[in-house]
Structure 1
Amino acid sequence: MRLRIDCAYDGTDFSGWAAQPGRRTVQGELEAALATALRLERVRVTVAGRTDAGVHARGQVVHLDVDREVVEASAGRARDAPLDALARRVDGILPADVRLRRVREAPDGFDARFSATWRRYAYRIADTRELGDPLVRHHVLTWGHRLDLDAMNAASAPLVGLQDFASFCKRREGATTVRTLLDLTWRRDEAGLAVGTVRADAFCHNMVRSLVGCLVAVGEGSRPTTWPVEVMAGRRRDQGVRVVHAHGLTLEEVGYPDDHEMAAQAERARARREAIDA
């Protein structure tokens, strides 16, 4: 059976999502806990989107293939359904900075990575002295200048759509920098924090943090509202673009199609990836 696992984590003390020898990672902790709970020597999960060191997640999604009999055996005499018992057992093994939100059997054709149609991130900024709160220092960027969100929204609008984001990405050999940016907006939440919401079909390395850094320069008045689109038109990394700190960034949600469309979406996404890699 294939399991869909929704999880959340505080990325502060992790070297990112992906397992790395000698480093503490979210993938490493989650796979170790699942292996222990399922009484298996090793398990391997597939993730919707790998997050960098210091980045947090509320809505991360992974899938795991495992024999149904193994899941049922791991539940033992628990009164809960086997998947509920598994979730509770794994949470009891995981460190406090990783938690499972839900474990369920995935629909036919589901792939945590390739069935996803979009990923949504939020970047939070405290831009006044009054908003400074040491209790959220690991999740909110402290900024020394009040930001003009109207200007930042005006600068964000031309970036939306199918674009080449090479100017905002750390290049990787053979990887495309073309992405479809679905949303890029700024607002203030109930506490007064400046919150940037970014949603796209996928993101390349450092893309969100570079976009935020570019737009913050507009918000504080050091750059005009036309600057971000001018940077993007250059199609190469601009040394003037600041890559903001990772700790203000959170993966909030991953979007998927209806259950009957999961397999078709995964096939389309794999075909695009194979064409790019070729």
Structure 2
Amino acid sequence: MASGTLLTQRCPRWAGSAQAAAVFDRICVESFVYHASVMMAFDPCLDVLSDPQRRLGLSRYFSDPVHLPSTSGEPEVVNQPILHTSYEFFLLIADTTKLARIPGPLSNAELAIREDLESQLSQFVPGIMTTRNHAEMLYLYALQIMLMKGYPGIDSKEADRTIITHLQGAMNTLLMVDPEQYFASFLLWPLAIFGAVMVLQDEIQVIRDYLTILQEMRAGGQAKWTLKRLEEIWRGRYHLDTAPDHCTRRWIGLQAFLDGNNRD
């Protein structure tokens, strides 16, 4: 992520640059945006995108024309993000994670931020549902759940019903996801969010089984670490029967995960 931070501090040099150099710059920045945004949920110390100043240079890498200018007779490189979605989607993940980490009900100022984030998310929904990109659909369900946390405009019973609806949609989508088609780490973020808000054993077992599959495939330590954190939340004090209702227990679990509780 250090290289990504450095890249955002200088202007990209499309004109006169070798295609390989331009593509390398773009890949580095996209990798930085992706890792910096999703890692916020796994470690609160990695909120490198929380500072708006860190974002000022990003748009310059994504404002090039449809084709990068060709030099020295090299073939043009199509402007296709390696993550197959705009970088703003991952900035939305970062902002939503930051908001969801706030304990308790949201203030008026925070509710205004939530409304803006919800509006941003709604702009991505048609495209995600049209392409039926299953991985993006998992991210969509996870973001919708996170944006409900701390929202005082819905009571706990209605909130729980909505969360269950999102989780059911996510689990149905997960059945259609071939983990071989994605980087295993790409699937960990939504699975971690789903797992953190799950309280029923049949829900939990689905996530446990899938994380185990990823661990055995190629995610290795990262999937093992995620599963370990979730197991501690599932069996720990966060889901004791003393919690007044399922919805409260779900938010306690998510808060614990985002706060980094139970970390070694």
* TM-score after normalising by structure 1: 0.26
User: Which is strand-richer, 1 or 2?
Assistant: 1
Higher relative contact order (CA 8 A, sep 6+): 1
* TM-score after normalising by structure 2: 0.27
User: Which is helix-richer, 1 or 2?
Assistant: 2
